Amino acid sequence: MSDTTLHVPGAAPYDVIVGHGLAGRLPGILGESVERVAVLFGGDLGALADGVVEVLVEHYDVLALGLPIGERAKTAAVAADCWEALGEAGFTRSDAVVTIGGGATTDLGGFVAATWLRGVRVVHLPTTVLGMVDAAVGGKTGINTGAGKNLVGAFHEPTGVLCDLSLLESLPREELVSGLGEVVKCGFIADPAILDLVETHDPASLTPSSAVLRELIERSIQVKIDVVVGDLKERGGADGHPGREVLNYGHTLAHAIERTSDYSVRHGEAVAIGCVYVAEVAARAGLLDPSVVERHRSAFARVGLPTSYSAASFDDLHAAMKMDKKARGSQIRLLVLEDVGRPRVLAGPAEGDLRAAYSAIGGAA
């Protein structure tokens, strides 16, 4: 099957390419003015990085940097190590960063590229479903702090994104399933065809080589592109649409779960729980029909994702939710749905509704 090119228009347009064996495209995307390329890769993905480095060394001086695995890469200390390495290797504004890994790697690598010399080119090669459909696209980069998830970061759009589906072959099943959390989220916020595909296909058939997984990935990328081209910096959309905040559906509780569990819950799993939770809140606020809440439970559960949570107290999660970037002052703001594809912001939800919704997903309120 041929490659698919999904174009991201804007002031600095770029393409997201989905296909197989895409590393050979890198020199064409990076361009001729680049002399040095830093390859930032997930520390357990050396074999995948080797194939990319082999292509790059034909054209550039390559600095390969293995990062701590997963979320442990998203720290100020790791970013500082990368800055030191770029400095020692003499990276200038005409040089570039290439990331190879999951969303944690593209977030950290994107942040390093955003901050080095106030911004150098970055091309992402996401190696997880979640990285392909979400983290590598749209220019959000960031690291965590003790106070919470992604609290330091920058908007820095990539020069290109290469989603090589062959790289998913080695991805553990639970990581693939985690990525489906963001896919199903896209179904609820904007593309009901995603929900239909999930509801009508055997979840076991969603393998890296399957046509249906590819369609789910491409549809989700298109949802993300459509949102970010309208509101790149999350300032709000037109005509009352929440804009980029729509992509944060389910994330207020999700990030609180990740942080209070010391990142032992995968991001996509936390998003699944967070979406069911916020649907419960919306139902209690009289905004969402209970049948749509049940559709949340069944769609996420069907692909193997959790829909309940009880490992933290409501008070701890509530405190963590106040660090959400959508909050203003001491007021929590939630992205909720009035129906599939009908998002809106609910500012200052009643604390009783927040507690009752936690109880409805299995927690002790």
Ligand X SMILES: O=C(O)C(=O)C[C@@H](O)[C@H](O)[C@H](O)COP(=O)(O)O
Q: Please give the annotated binding residues for Zn(2+), written as ranges.
A: 182, 251, 267
Task: Kindly state the tokens that stand for 301.
Answer: 């559960």
Rounded CA separation 114/118 (Å): 6
**Among residues 138, 179, 187, 349, which is the contact residue for ligand X, using CB under 6 A?**
138
126, 132 contact by CB (below 8 A):
yes
Partner interacting with residue 102 (select from ligand NAD, ligand X, none; CB below 5-8 Å by kind): ligand NAD
Assess 248 for contact with ligand NAD (CB under 6 A). no
Residues 312-331 that bind ligand X (CB under 6 A): 325
Considering the rule CB under 6 A, would residue 284 count as an interface residue with ligand X?
Answer: no
Looking at 55-63, 64-72, 194-202, 339-347, which segment touches ligand NAD (CB under 6 A)?
64-72
Using DSSP's 3-state secondary structure scheme, residue 296 falls into helix
Paired sense of beta strands 148-155 and 4-8, if any: unpaired
Nearer to ligand NAD, 131 or 304 (CB): 131
- Cα 326 to Cα 150: distance, rounded to the nearest angstrom: 12
**DSSP label of 170:** G
Pairing status of strand 121-126 against strand 96-101: parallel
Q: Name the phi and psi angles at 60, rounded to 5.
A: -140, 165
Radius of gyration of the chain (CA): 20
CA angle 260-143-168, nearest 5°? 90
109 binds ligand NAD (CB under 6 A): no
Q: Does 128 bind ligand NAD (CB under 6 A)?
A: yes
Which partner from the list ligand NAD, ligand X, none does 248 bind, CB cut-off 5 to 8 Å by kind?
ligand X
- Map residues 154-183 to x or -, x wherever contact with ligand NAD holds by CB under 6 A: -------------xx-xx---x--x-----
Residue 251 interacting partner from ligand NAD, ligand X, none (CB closer than 5 to 8 Å by kind)? ligand X
Binding window for ligand X (CB under 6 A); candidates: 244-252, 282-290, 295-303, 335-343: 244-252
- Distance in angstroms (rounded) separating the CA atoms of residues 132 and 307: 23
Give the residues lining the site for ligand X (CB under 6 A). 134, 138, 140, 150, 182, 244, 247-248, 251, 325
